Structure 1
Amino acid sequence: MNPKLKVLADAQGGVYSRAQAADCDYTPGQIHDRIQDGRWERIRHGQYAEAVELSHLPPWEQQALRHRRLIHAVMNSLRPGTVAVSHQSALVLHGIPQWGPDLGEVHLSRLDRHRGGRIAGVRHHRGTLAAADLAVIDGLPATTVPRALVEMACISPFEAAVVSADAVRRERPRSTPDLERLRAATEFWPGSAMARAALDFSSPLSESVGESRLRVLMHNHGLPAPMLQVVFTDAEGFVARVDFYFPEQRTVVEFDGLVKYAGGTPETLIQEKLREDRLRALGLQVVRVTWADLEHPARLVARIRGAFARA
């Protein structure tokens, strides 16, 4: 990419239009050749970006990066001042972890009187946005984190809403007053009951997407509510801070413990084994959960209930 187009693209999330490429001295033939040989990729009609290698990233990060480019491509083709990025699209811009919301289309809130609805892969929403609910992220107008979270929670499954709500409460604790204001302001929105349920269930002590998903899974299957991030000690001192603790059942549930604590080396694997032995010496059952286990909820819940029975 020539320097002139690179500067322009860097200011637009890596995205540029066909007209902008032409203004930077690319001929139609050169544009065609770069798309055909894979140097450039088409983000949407008339909007392009340099191809990037994403295979080293987790699937959810790949999805977020692609959606971020799609947002810039959409905004690059609309008249400035008419819309703000909103809902899950705004959460992507803000860097809030997500799992499960539909990122197949860009969500925008109208700042003018244009009708809402789905147009060319873009979901346009109508509503009144207060100045306190607007921000500028990546050079784009967008709803704030609290507003975007409530918007997304109203149109997404409970699990998806909890994952992002946990992350916001954990990473953006100053958002709490605005979340409470928006709970009242959106009381009669479609889907607001689901949003309130997710906010009520959310916790800043849930430290990852996996922990949030596991907590929702256990809740959906009727397990008692666990304590989060409980510290255990023994005669030698600190033993561990565990993800989930069921006190009446004397059971600890750890999400992806081998990844979180082991790091893959023999020395740390041994340390993790000793840690687990010390927990069991305290009379605790220990259940480890991996990403793969989340795909078999009934089997996983049976394992946890089995630990309850043994305890």
Structure 2
Amino acid sequence: MPPDAPDFSRLLDTRRTSTDGVGSPAVRRAANEGRLTRLRRSIYRDPLVPLEELAPDERRHEGRARFLEEAIAVGLTRGGPVVFAGETAQQIHAIPALGELPGHVELLEAVGSTRRNAFGITVHTDGFRPEDIEPWGEFFVTSPARTVADLAKWQSRAKAVAALDFVLNSDRAAPGQRVTKQEVEAALDASVAVRNRRTAESVIAFGVDVAGSVGESLSRVLMDEFGFPTPRLQTRHAAPPGLGRWFYTDFEWPELHLVGEFDGFVKFSNERFLNGRTPAQVLFDEKRREDALRASGLRVVRWTWDCLTAPLRLRELLVAQGLRPTRARRSISRGW
């Protein structure tokens, strides 16, 4: 089941509070004067603070809440069974996503449906199994397995791999989000749409269950697209005294005695990584681990989101460490 039920608390549905199904003159006047925001016909919400005025963590949480309210408004006014899919389902399931919030609501319709795209709504017509659909309040949403299978067909490789790596990782995903690669493949098999199927199969084959963050997933996609040798993932090393028994490197090329580490802000802010420590302590512990790697004869190169938003920086950084392409280079991911 999705982690949260639909939240109607900030929405005003005038169909349920008026006799004409449209809303009272007072409501329409309030919307015209900017005291209410109209999301869909008869669905309103109080004006909200612009997202850019919020703190980063609050901005992400509030942005998702607002998008889900827009999806709910679509569901309330659509008529008939509504199945949310694609990036909309990804937000409902709270599966981490690359890039900005979606600019439209995605729906899944059964083969033979005549309902098509509308303003702010993208409709996908395809085959699916009963187990590919889950209830979400009075609506429905594609299951996590079907959601990432659809992302593999409909979204960029980087976006799809980031979502797939998350749901495959039992340490990151909650029980209701976790899936196996076999479940994703079965969900894709239920699709009868031919377009992008081979691409989706390739994306699913590329997914792993050990990626520790969205940034690691994107790093891996870019390395592959640059044609670099495939790194070993999450290689185990003995930890320095006081830091447990083992620690794991993000990427490793043993033949070059090279370790690659992606450093995202989440490592220094998320409680799962802090584990009761201060950000300064996390930074100090990271330095001790790196010192241990260097003492064992390994070189360490680190990068941050700056290198992922401008991928050629990552390429230059890794080439400077001795990595060379071993196969034809793909087009580089952009649309995320």
Q: TM-score range by the shorter chain?
A: 0.7 to 0.9
C-alpha displacement at 1:19, in angstroms?
2.9
Q: Deviations over 1:222-265 (max 9, x none)?
A: 11111112221268574632211122121111111675158664
C-alpha displacement at 1:62, in angstroms?
5.1
For residues 179 and 109 of structure 2, the distance between their equivalents in structure 1, rounded to whole angstroms, comes to: 27
For residues 247 and 33 of structure 2, the distance between their equivalents in structure 1, rounded to whole angstroms, comes to: 54
TM-score by length of 1: 0.82
| Contact kept in structure 1, 2:145 and 2:183, CA below 8 Å | yes
Q: Does residue 243 of the first structure (1) align with residue 257 of the second (2)? A: no
| Contact kept in structure 2, 1:60 and 1:99, CA below 8 Å | no
For residues 127 and 254 of structure 1, the distance between their equivalents in structure 2, rounded to whole angstroms, comes to: 40
| Contact kept in structure 1, 2:249 and 2:260, CA below 8 Å | yes
Aligned to 1:4: none
C-alpha displacement at 1:35, in angstroms?
7.3
Q: Give the number of the structure with larger relative contact order, counting CA–CA contacts within 8 Å between residues 6 or more apart.
A: 2
C-alpha displacement at 1:100, in angstroms?
4.6
Question: What does residue range 39-188 of structure 1 map to in structure 2 within 5 Å?
Answer: 40-52=36-48, 54=51, 55-58=54-57, 61=61, 63-81=63-81, 83-100=82-99, 103-111=102-110, 113-170=112-169, 171=173, 172-186=177-191
Structure 2, unmatched stretches of 5+, are 324-336
* Letter of the 2:146 counterpart: R
- Secondary structure of the 1:124 match is strand
TM-score by length of 2: 0.76
For residues 97 and 200 of structure 1, the distance between their equivalents in structure 2, rounded to whole angstroms, comes to: 20
| Contact kept in structure 2, 1:286 and 1:307, CA below 8 Å | no
- Secondary structure of the 2:208 match is coil
For residues 186 and 274 of structure 1, the distance between their equivalents in structure 2, rounded to whole angstroms, comes to: 49
C-alpha displacement at 1:11, in angstroms?
5.1
Aligned to 1:28: 25
| Contact kept in structure 2, 1:22 and 1:28, CA below 8 Å | no
C-alpha displacement at 1:37, in angstroms?
5.6
* Between 256-265 and 159-168, the greater mean CA deviation after superposition: 256-265
C-alpha displacement at 1:292, in angstroms?
1.6
For residues 307 and 213 of structure 1, the distance between their equivalents in structure 2, rounded to whole angstroms, comes to: 19
* Letter of the 2:86 counterpart: H
Change (3 A) 1:252 1:223: same
Aligned to 2:328: none
| Contact kept in structure 1, 2:262 and 2:304, CA below 8 Å | yes
* Letter of the 2:210 counterpart: L
Change (3 A) 1:111 1:287: same
Question: What does residue range 274-285 of structure 1 map to in structure 2 within 5 Å?
Answer: 274-285=288-299
Residues matched between the structures, number: 298
* Letter of the 1:104 counterpart: G
- Secondary structure of the 1:119 match is coil
For residues 78 and 265 of structure 2, the distance between their equivalents in structure 1, rounded to whole angstroms, comes to: 47
Change (3 A) 1:234 1:97: closer
Aligned to 2:207: 202
C-alpha displacement at 1:71, in angstroms?
0.9
For residues 214 and 199 of structure 2, the distance between their equivalents in structure 1, rounded to whole angstroms, comes to: 19
* Letter of the 2:262 counterpart: F
